[in-house]
C-alpha cells in the first residue's frame, strides 16, 4: 500500500521512546494501519530519536531551550506538524506542558498516556506518589489532551497491582510494559473512526466513556 494514503501520526517524545517503539512495532505488524510521518523530540539527547532513525522515520528536534516563550516553542511544533500533514498527535513520554497555541488546532486529534490511574496523580513523580499513598493498584491512562494538564477526558485505563517491595523504578517498569500494549489500542480505535472527543467527553462506538476510561484488558480489540 502507498504510505501516502495512510493516516499520518506524529509521535512526540522526550526520552527513552519505548512507547514510540511500541508504535513502530504495531505499524510494522499492521496492527496499526498508519504511517509515523514525524517523530519530534524537545530533547536533542532523547534515546528515542535513535529508535526512529533505526526505523527509517523522519525526525525533528525542537529544543524548547531555543525559544523565549512556551508559545513560540509550541508554534514551532505546530509548523512542523502542519508541514508533515499530521492527522493525529501522540504524546509518548513528552515532558513539556503545551499551551493553547498547540492544543487548540489539534484538539480532538491529540492523545497522551499518563503513568497513573487518572484522576489520581496528575503531573510528575506518579509512581512514588502512588507508593507513598499505599495504593494497592497503579497503572496508566490514555486521554485526550486539553488545556487542563492531565485533565482531558480519559479513553483507556490499564491497572496492575503494586507489590510489597515495589520502588518507583520497579513499578514504572511494569507500568511501562502495560503502556506498550494499551496505547496502540487506543490509537487503533481513533484511526478506525470509533473514538471521538465531544463537548461532553470521550466517545467510543457511539457511547460515552466513563470518567476513568475504558478498562484495558489484554484481549481487547
Ligand atoms: N499539555 C497540556 N496542555 N495538557 C496535557 O494534559 C499535557 C500537556 C503536555 C504534556 C504529558 C504529561 C504527563 O503525562 C502532557 C500532558 C510534563 C509535565 C511537566 O510538568 C507534566 C505533565 C506531563 C508532561 N513538565 C515540565 C514543564 O515545565 C517540565 C518537566 C521536565 O522537563 O522534567 O513543562 O505526565
Ligand atoms: C511513560 O511511562 C509515560 O507514561 C511517561 O513517561 C514514560 C515515557 O517512556 N510520561 C510522562 O511521565 C509524561 N509526563 P518512554 O519514553 O520510554 O515512552
Residue-level pLDDT, tens digit, the chain, 221 residues: 554 589 999 999 999 999 999 999 999 999 999 999 999 999 999 999 999 999 999 999 999 999 999 999 999 999 999 999 999 999 999 999 999 999 999 999 999 999 999 999 999 999 999 999 999 999 999 999 999 999 999 999 999 999 999 999 999 999 999 999 999 999 999 999 999 999 999 999 999 999 999 999 988 88
Q: Which three cell numbers stand for residue 188?
A: 487503533
Q: Residue 158 and residue 213: Cα distance in Å, rounded?
A: 9
Q: Residue 141 and residue 188: Cα distance in Å, rounded?
A: 15
Q: Residue 172 and residue 104: Cα distance in Å, rounded?
A: 31
Q: Residue 168 and residue 134: Cα distance in Å, rounded?
A: 12
114 is catalytic: yes
Residue 218: the pLDDT is 86
Q: Is 15 in the pocket of ligand 2 (CB under 6 A)?
A: yes
Q: With contact defined as beta carbons under 8 Å apart, do 190 and 88 qualify?
A: yes
Q: Is 16 in the pocket of ligand 2 (CB under 6 A)?
A: yes
Q: Point out the ligand nearest to the CA of residue 43.
A: 1
Report the predicted TM-score, pTM, of the whole model to 2 decimal places. 0.96
Ligand 2 midpoint to CA 1 (Å): 32
156 phi, psi to nearest 5 deg: -145, 130
Report CA dihedral (161, 11, 62, 18) to the nearest 10 degrees.
Answer: 40
Q: Find the catalytic residue in 35, 114, 127, 143.
A: 114
- Among 113, 142, 143, which is best to mutate for testing ligand 2, by the most ligand atoms less than 8 A from CB? 113
pLDDT digits (tens, 9 = 90+) for 167-191: 999 999 999 999 999 999 999 999 9
Q: Is 139 in the pocket of ligand 2 (CB under 6 A)?
A: no
> What is the CB neighbour count within 10 angstroms for residue 216?
22
Beta bridge partner(s), residue 113: 142
Q: Which residues, 6 or more positions from 196, have their beta carbon under 8 angstroms from its beta carbon?
A: 108, 202, 203
| Closest CA to ligand 2's atom 8 | 93
Ligand 1 midpoint to CA 96 (Å): 5
Q: Residue 57 and residue 65: Cα distance in Å, rounded?
A: 24
Q: With contact defined as beta carbons under 8 Å apart, do 153 and 202 qualify?
A: yes
Residue 133: the pLDDT is 98
Q: Which of 109, 85, 92, 113 is nearest to 41 (CA)?
A: 92
Domains detected in the chain: 1-106 (3.40.50.170), 114-141+153-221 (3.40.50.170)
Amino acid at each position: 500500500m502507498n504510505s501516502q494514503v495512510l493516516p499520518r501520526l506524529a509521535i512526540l517524545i522526550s526520552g527513552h521512546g519505548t512507547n514510540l517503539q511500541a508504535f513502530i512495532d504495531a505499524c510494522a505488524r499492521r496492527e496499526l494501519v498508519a504511517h509515523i510521518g514525524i517523530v519530534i523530540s524537545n530533547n536533542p539527547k532523547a534515546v528515542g530519536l535513535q529508535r526512529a532513525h533505526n526505523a527509517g522515520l523522519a525526525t525533528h528536534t525542537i529544543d524548547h531551550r531555543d525559544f523565549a516563550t512556551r508559545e513560540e516553542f509550541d508554534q514551532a511544533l505546530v509548523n512542523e506538524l502542519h508541514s508533515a500533514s499530521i492527522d493525529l498527535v501522540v504524546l509518548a513520554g513528552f515532558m513539556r506542558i503545551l499551551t493553547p497555541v498547540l492544543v487548540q488546532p489539534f484538539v480532538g486529534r491529540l492523545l497522551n498516556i499518563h503513568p497513573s490511574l487518572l484522576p489520581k496523580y496528575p503531573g510528575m513523580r506518579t509512581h512514588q506518589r502512588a507508593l507513598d499513598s499505599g495504593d494497592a493498584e497503579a497503572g496508566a491512562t490514555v486521554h485526550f489532551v486539553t488545556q487542563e494538564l492531565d485533565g482531558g477526558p480519559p479513553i483507556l485505563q490499564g491497572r496492575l497491582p503494586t507489590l510489597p517491595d515495589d520502588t518507583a523504578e520497579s513499578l514504572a517498569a511494569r507500568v511501562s510494559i502495560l503502556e506498550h500494549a494499551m496505547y496502540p489500542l487506543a490509537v487503533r480505535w481513533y484511526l478506525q473512526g470509533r473514538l471521538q472527543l465531544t463537548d461532553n467527553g470521550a466517545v467510543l462506538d457511539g457511547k460515552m466513556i466513563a470518567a476513568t476510561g475504558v478498562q484495558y484488558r489484554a484481549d481487547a480489540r
